[in-house]
Amino acid sequence: MRRDLAQERGFTLIEVLLVATLMIVVLGATLTSIEGFWKTNQVNNDQNDAQEIARTAIDRLAQQLRNLALPTTTSPNSIDIASSYDLVFKTAEPSRRRVRYCLRTDPPESPANGRLYMQTQAGAGAGTPDPAVPSTATCPGPTGSGNWASTTVVADHIVNKVDGKDRPVFYFNAPTSELPRITLLRSDLFVDLDPAHRPLESRISTGVYLRNQNQVPTASFSVASGGTGTRRFLLNGSASSDPEGRTLAYSWFSGDNPDFADSTCASTEALGCIGRGVTLDYTFPASAGDGIQTLTLRVKDPGGLTATSSWTCNPTNGACSPT
Protein backbone atom coordinates (compact mmCIF):
# COMPACT_ATOMS: atom_id res chain seq x y z
CA MET A 1 0.00 0.00 0.00
CA ARG A 2 2.74 2.50 0.98
CA ARG A 3 4.75 1.55 -2.07
CA ASP A 4 1.81 2.10 -4.41
CA LEU A 5 1.14 5.48 -2.78
CA ALA A 6 4.77 6.52 -3.21
CA GLN A 7 4.68 5.49 -6.85
CA GLU A 8 1.52 7.49 -7.43
CA ARG A 9 3.09 10.53 -5.78
CA GLY A 10 6.19 10.08 -7.94
CA PHE A 11 4.13 9.97 -11.10
CA THR A 12 2.15 13.04 -10.00
CA LEU A 13 5.32 15.00 -9.40
CA ILE A 14 6.64 14.05 -12.84
CA GLU A 15 3.39 15.10 -14.44
CA VAL A 16 3.49 18.42 -12.63
CA LEU A 17 7.03 19.00 -13.83
CA LEU A 18 6.09 18.10 -17.41
CA VAL A 19 3.11 20.43 -17.34
CA ALA A 20 5.22 23.20 -15.85
CA THR A 21 7.87 22.70 -18.51
CA LEU A 22 5.29 22.81 -21.28
CA MET A 23 3.81 25.97 -19.80
CA ILE A 24 7.25 27.59 -19.70
CA VAL A 25 7.88 26.62 -23.34
CA VAL A 26 4.49 27.94 -24.43
CA LEU A 27 4.96 31.12 -22.41
CA GLY A 28 8.43 31.64 -23.91
CA ALA A 29 7.10 31.15 -27.42
CA THR A 30 4.26 33.55 -26.69
CA LEU A 31 6.62 36.18 -25.32
CA THR A 32 8.91 35.73 -28.33
CA SER A 33 5.94 36.15 -30.65
CA ILE A 34 4.75 39.23 -28.77
CA GLU A 35 8.25 40.69 -28.83
CA GLY A 36 8.52 40.07 -32.59
CA PHE A 37 5.11 41.63 -33.16
CA TRP A 38 6.06 44.61 -31.01
CA LYS A 39 9.32 45.11 -32.90
CA THR A 40 7.59 44.85 -36.28
CA ASN A 41 4.88 47.21 -35.12
CA GLN A 42 7.49 49.65 -33.81
CA VAL A 43 9.40 49.56 -37.11
CA ASN A 44 6.18 50.20 -39.02
CA ASN A 45 5.31 53.07 -36.70
CA ASP A 46 8.80 54.55 -37.12
CA GLN A 47 8.46 54.24 -40.90
CA ASN A 48 5.07 55.94 -40.80
CA ASP A 49 6.49 58.71 -38.63
CA ALA A 50 9.36 59.25 -41.10
CA GLN A 51 6.84 59.41 -43.96
CA GLU A 52 4.73 62.00 -42.15
CA ILE A 53 7.79 64.13 -41.43
CA ALA A 54 8.81 63.95 -45.10
CA ARG A 55 5.26 64.79 -46.19
CA THR A 56 5.21 67.80 -43.88
CA ALA A 57 8.55 68.94 -45.37
CA ILE A 58 7.38 68.91 -49.00
CA ASP A 59 4.02 70.43 -48.04
CA ARG A 60 5.98 73.35 -46.56
CA LEU A 61 8.10 73.51 -49.72
CA ALA A 62 4.95 73.59 -51.87
CA GLN A 63 3.43 76.39 -49.78
CA GLN A 64 6.56 78.50 -50.08
CA LEU A 65 6.76 77.92 -53.84
CA ARG A 66 3.08 78.81 -54.32
CA ASN A 67 3.98 82.16 -52.76
CA LEU A 68 7.07 82.69 -54.90
CA ALA A 69 8.28 86.27 -54.58
CA LEU A 70 7.58 88.45 -57.60
CA PRO A 71 10.67 89.37 -59.61
CA THR A 72 11.99 92.91 -59.41
CA THR A 73 14.33 95.00 -61.54
CA THR A 74 17.20 94.30 -59.15
CA SER A 75 16.22 90.61 -58.67
CA PRO A 76 14.74 89.47 -61.99
CA ASN A 77 14.80 85.76 -61.12
CA SER A 78 12.59 84.28 -58.41
CA ILE A 79 14.64 81.06 -58.59
CA ASP A 80 18.38 81.40 -57.98
CA ILE A 81 19.56 77.77 -58.20
CA ALA A 82 17.76 74.74 -59.60
CA SER A 83 19.36 71.28 -59.64
CA SER A 84 18.38 67.70 -58.89
CA TYR A 85 19.32 67.91 -55.20
CA ASP A 86 19.58 71.65 -54.50
CA LEU A 87 16.95 74.38 -54.85
CA VAL A 88 17.26 78.07 -53.90
CA PHE A 89 14.37 80.47 -54.44
CA LYS A 90 12.76 83.63 -53.07
CA THR A 91 9.45 83.29 -51.27
CA ALA A 92 6.99 85.91 -50.05
CA GLU A 93 5.72 83.58 -47.30
CA PRO A 94 5.72 84.84 -44.62
CA SER A 95 7.94 87.67 -45.94
CA ARG A 96 10.27 88.12 -48.90
CA ARG A 97 13.29 85.98 -48.17
CA ARG A 98 15.53 83.40 -49.82
CA VAL A 99 15.03 79.69 -48.98
CA ARG A 100 17.20 76.69 -49.78
CA TYR A 101 16.35 72.96 -49.79
CA CYS A 102 19.22 70.51 -50.27
CA LEU A 103 19.86 66.78 -49.77
CA ARG A 104 22.97 65.51 -48.01
CA THR A 105 23.91 61.83 -47.98
CA ASP A 106 27.63 61.79 -47.29
CA PRO A 107 29.13 61.09 -43.80
CA PRO A 108 29.07 62.18 -41.04
CA GLU A 109 25.30 62.32 -41.48
CA SER A 110 23.30 60.28 -38.99
CA PRO A 111 21.44 58.42 -40.32
CA ALA A 112 23.84 58.05 -43.23
CA ASN A 113 21.04 57.38 -45.73
CA GLY A 114 20.19 61.03 -46.19
CA ARG A 115 18.83 64.22 -44.68
CA LEU A 116 16.89 67.01 -46.32
CA TYR A 117 17.89 70.44 -45.05
CA MET A 118 16.03 73.74 -45.22
CA GLN A 119 18.04 76.95 -44.92
CA THR A 120 16.64 80.47 -44.81
CA GLN A 121 18.17 83.89 -45.37
CA ALA A 122 17.16 86.98 -43.44
CA GLY A 123 14.35 88.81 -45.24
CA ALA A 124 15.10 91.87 -47.36
CA GLY A 125 13.69 95.12 -46.09
CA ALA A 126 10.93 96.87 -48.03
CA GLY A 127 12.32 98.64 -51.08
CA THR A 128 15.85 97.24 -50.63
CA PRO A 129 17.60 94.92 -53.10
CA ASP A 130 17.85 91.23 -52.22
CA PRO A 131 21.23 90.32 -50.71
CA ALA A 132 23.57 88.00 -52.57
CA VAL A 133 22.97 84.24 -52.49
CA PRO A 134 24.84 82.74 -49.50
CA SER A 135 27.33 79.96 -50.11
CA THR A 136 25.85 76.76 -51.57
CA ALA A 137 29.18 74.96 -51.96
CA THR A 138 28.15 72.48 -49.25
CA CYS A 139 24.86 71.14 -47.93
CA PRO A 140 24.06 72.71 -45.59
CA GLY A 141 25.88 75.97 -46.21
CA PRO A 142 27.46 78.05 -43.45
CA THR A 143 25.32 80.14 -41.10
CA GLY A 144 26.06 83.51 -39.57
CA SER A 145 26.62 87.06 -40.77
CA GLY A 146 26.39 87.26 -44.56
CA ASN A 147 25.41 83.60 -44.79
CA TRP A 148 22.27 81.60 -44.06
CA ALA A 149 20.35 82.80 -41.02
CA SER A 150 18.99 79.38 -40.02
CA THR A 151 19.45 75.68 -40.81
CA THR A 152 16.88 72.96 -40.08
CA VAL A 153 16.70 69.23 -40.79
CA VAL A 154 13.20 68.83 -42.24
CA ALA A 155 13.30 65.13 -43.21
CA ASP A 156 15.39 62.07 -42.31
CA HIS A 157 15.95 58.66 -43.92
CA ILE A 158 15.82 60.01 -47.47
CA VAL A 159 17.21 57.29 -49.75
CA ASN A 160 17.07 58.99 -53.16
CA LYS A 161 20.84 58.40 -53.54
CA VAL A 162 21.35 55.22 -51.51
CA ASP A 163 23.15 52.25 -53.12
CA GLY A 164 24.22 54.25 -56.15
CA LYS A 165 20.70 55.37 -57.06
CA ASP A 166 20.22 58.74 -58.74
CA ARG A 167 16.63 59.75 -58.13
CA PRO A 168 16.36 63.56 -58.14
CA VAL A 169 14.52 65.31 -55.34
CA PHE A 170 13.53 68.10 -57.76
CA TYR A 171 12.23 67.91 -61.35
CA PHE A 172 11.56 70.95 -63.58
CA ASN A 173 9.64 71.57 -66.80
CA ALA A 174 12.48 73.56 -68.36
CA PRO A 175 16.29 73.31 -68.50
CA THR A 176 17.85 74.37 -65.22
CA SER A 177 20.15 76.67 -67.19
CA GLU A 178 17.08 78.72 -68.17
CA LEU A 179 15.65 79.67 -64.77
CA PRO A 180 12.98 82.14 -66.01
CA ARG A 181 11.36 79.34 -68.08
CA ILE A 182 10.73 77.08 -65.08
CA THR A 183 7.03 77.22 -64.24
CA LEU A 184 6.40 73.70 -62.89
CA LEU A 185 8.27 71.78 -60.20
CA ARG A 186 7.85 68.25 -58.83
CA SER A 187 9.49 66.94 -55.67
CA ASP A 188 9.97 63.23 -54.87
CA LEU A 189 11.27 61.93 -51.53
CA PHE A 190 11.97 58.22 -51.06
CA VAL A 191 11.83 57.31 -47.35
CA ASP A 192 13.27 54.11 -45.82
CA LEU A 193 14.52 53.54 -42.26
CA ASP A 194 16.58 50.49 -43.26
CA PRO A 195 17.03 49.81 -46.99
CA ALA A 196 18.30 46.28 -46.20
CA HIS A 197 15.12 45.18 -44.40
CA ARG A 198 11.37 45.51 -44.59
CA PRO A 199 9.19 47.52 -44.71
CA LEU A 200 9.93 48.74 -48.22
CA GLU A 201 10.64 52.38 -49.03
CA SER A 202 7.83 54.88 -49.42
CA ARG A 203 7.57 57.62 -52.03
CA ILE A 204 6.26 61.07 -51.05
CA SER A 205 5.56 63.46 -53.95
CA THR A 206 4.15 66.90 -54.67
CA GLY A 207 3.83 69.13 -57.72
CA VAL A 208 3.65 72.93 -57.79
CA TYR A 209 2.78 75.48 -60.47
CA LEU A 210 5.00 78.52 -59.98
CA ARG A 211 2.40 81.21 -60.63
CA ASN A 212 4.74 84.13 -59.83
CA GLN A 213 7.69 82.92 -61.82
CA ASN A 214 8.92 85.48 -64.33
CA GLN A 215 9.22 84.32 -67.92
CA VAL A 216 10.86 86.09 -70.84
CA PRO A 217 8.40 88.26 -72.85
CA THR A 218 7.93 88.00 -76.61
CA ALA A 219 8.74 90.93 -78.90
CA SER A 220 6.80 91.27 -82.15
CA PHE A 221 5.81 94.24 -84.32
CA SER A 222 4.43 95.20 -87.70
CA VAL A 223 5.60 97.88 -90.12
CA ALA A 224 3.42 99.98 -92.43
CA SER A 225 5.09 102.17 -95.04
CA GLY A 226 3.95 105.72 -95.68
CA GLY A 227 4.65 105.25 -99.39
CA THR A 228 7.51 105.46 -101.87
CA GLY A 229 9.81 108.36 -101.23
CA THR A 230 8.23 109.38 -97.92
CA ARG A 231 10.85 107.62 -95.79
CA ARG A 232 8.03 107.33 -93.23
CA PHE A 233 7.02 104.15 -91.40
CA LEU A 234 4.41 103.32 -88.73
CA LEU A 235 5.71 100.74 -86.23
CA ASN A 236 3.21 98.83 -84.09
CA GLY A 237 4.45 96.57 -81.26
CA SER A 238 1.02 95.57 -79.90
CA ALA A 239 1.61 91.95 -80.94
CA SER A 240 4.27 91.68 -78.21
CA SER A 241 3.24 89.83 -75.07
CA ASP A 242 4.26 88.86 -71.55
CA PRO A 243 3.49 85.31 -70.29
CA GLU A 244 2.31 86.68 -66.93
CA GLY A 245 0.27 89.46 -68.53
CA ARG A 246 2.38 92.19 -66.96
CA THR A 247 2.88 95.63 -68.53
CA LEU A 248 5.77 95.89 -70.96
CA ALA A 249 8.04 98.86 -71.71
CA TYR A 250 8.64 99.44 -75.44
CA SER A 251 11.83 100.96 -76.89
CA TRP A 252 12.60 101.40 -80.61
CA PHE A 253 16.04 101.41 -82.19
CA SER A 254 17.55 101.99 -85.61
CA GLY A 255 20.83 100.59 -86.84
CA ASP A 256 22.63 97.28 -86.96
CA ASN A 257 24.31 97.55 -83.55
CA PRO A 258 22.03 99.54 -81.24
CA ASP A 259 22.91 100.18 -77.62
CA PHE A 260 20.06 98.71 -75.55
CA ALA A 261 20.93 100.55 -72.33
CA ASP A 262 17.90 102.32 -70.86
CA SER A 263 19.58 105.72 -71.01
CA THR A 264 19.95 105.62 -74.82
CA CYS A 265 16.21 106.14 -75.31
CA ALA A 266 16.14 109.30 -73.23
CA SER A 267 17.17 111.90 -75.78
CA THR A 268 19.33 111.10 -78.80
CA GLU A 269 19.43 108.92 -81.91
CA ALA A 270 23.22 108.84 -81.79
CA LEU A 271 23.22 105.52 -79.97
CA GLY A 272 20.35 104.06 -81.96
CA CYS A 273 17.26 104.92 -79.93
CA ILE A 274 14.44 106.48 -81.94
CA GLY A 275 11.53 106.41 -79.49
CA ARG A 276 9.37 104.74 -76.87
CA GLY A 277 5.82 103.42 -76.66
CA VAL A 278 3.66 100.67 -78.18
CA THR A 279 3.54 102.47 -81.54
CA LEU A 280 5.95 104.81 -83.26
CA ASP A 281 5.50 107.06 -86.30
CA TYR A 282 9.07 107.30 -87.61
CA THR A 283 10.63 109.04 -90.58
CA PHE A 284 14.18 108.13 -91.57
CA PRO A 285 16.38 111.25 -91.75
CA ALA A 286 18.30 111.95 -94.92
CA SER A 287 21.49 111.15 -93.04
CA ALA A 288 20.36 107.54 -92.80
CA GLY A 289 20.98 107.11 -96.52
CA ASP A 290 18.99 105.12 -99.04
CA GLY A 291 20.29 101.62 -98.30
CA ILE A 292 18.68 98.89 -96.22
CA GLN A 293 18.09 100.02 -92.63
CA THR A 294 17.35 97.90 -89.53
CA LEU A 295 14.54 98.70 -87.11
CA THR A 296 14.43 96.92 -83.75
CA LEU A 297 11.85 96.74 -80.98
CA ARG A 298 12.97 95.86 -77.47
CA VAL A 299 10.34 95.00 -74.84
CA LYS A 300 11.12 94.81 -71.13
CA ASP A 301 8.96 93.39 -68.32
CA PRO A 302 8.82 94.77 -64.74
CA GLY A 303 11.28 92.08 -63.65
CA GLY A 304 13.91 93.31 -66.08
CA LEU A 305 13.65 90.50 -68.66
CA THR A 306 13.85 91.64 -72.29
CA ALA A 307 13.21 90.41 -75.81
CA THR A 308 13.88 91.95 -79.23
CA SER A 309 12.50 91.72 -82.76
CA SER A 310 13.82 93.36 -85.96
CA TRP A 311 12.78 94.32 -89.49
CA THR A 312 14.86 95.65 -92.38
CA CYS A 313 13.41 98.51 -94.43
CA ASN A 314 14.39 100.50 -97.50
CA PRO A 315 13.62 104.19 -96.83
CA THR A 316 13.51 104.92 -100.57
CA ASN A 317 10.84 102.50 -101.77
CA GLY A 318 9.20 101.58 -98.44
CA ALA A 319 9.86 97.84 -98.77
CA CYS A 320 10.24 96.01 -95.42
CA SER A 321 10.74 92.42 -94.26
CA PRO A 322 11.20 90.76 -90.82
CA THR A 323 14.64 89.41 -89.95
What are the pLDDT digits (tens) for 249-283?
999 999 888 877 766 676 555 568 899 999 999 99
Task: Say yes or no to pLDDT of 146 above 90.
Answer: no
- The reported pTM is 0.67
Phi, psi of 13 (to 5 degrees): -65, -40
For the stretch 279-311, pLDDT in tens is 999 999 888 777 899 999 999 987 778 899 999
Task: Say yes or no to pLDDT of 25 above 60.
Answer: yes
The parent domain of residue 150 ranges over 46-209
Query: Do 201 and 226 reside in the same domain of the chain?
Result: no
Burial 34-57 (b: 16+ CB within 10 A, else e): eeeeeeeeeeeeebeebbebbbeb
Q: Is residue 25 part of a domain?
A: no
Q: Which of 5-14, 56-65, 178-187 has the lowest mean pLDDT?
A: 5-14
For the stretch 230-243, pLDDT in tens is 899 999 999 999 98
d(CA 267, CA 283): 16
pLDDT tier at 70 (50, 70, 90 boundaries)?
confident
The rounded radius of gyration (Å) of the Cα atoms in the chain is 35
Query: Do 238 and 148 reside in the same domain of the chain?
Result: no
d(CA 73, CA 269): 25
- For the chain, the domain total comes to 2
Task: Say yes or no to pLDDT of 78 above 70.
Answer: yes
Domain boundary among 173, 188, 209: 209
In this prediction, what percent of the chain has a pLDDT beyond 70?
A: 85
Q: Count the neighbouring beta carbons within 10 Å of the beta carbon of residue 74.
A: 11
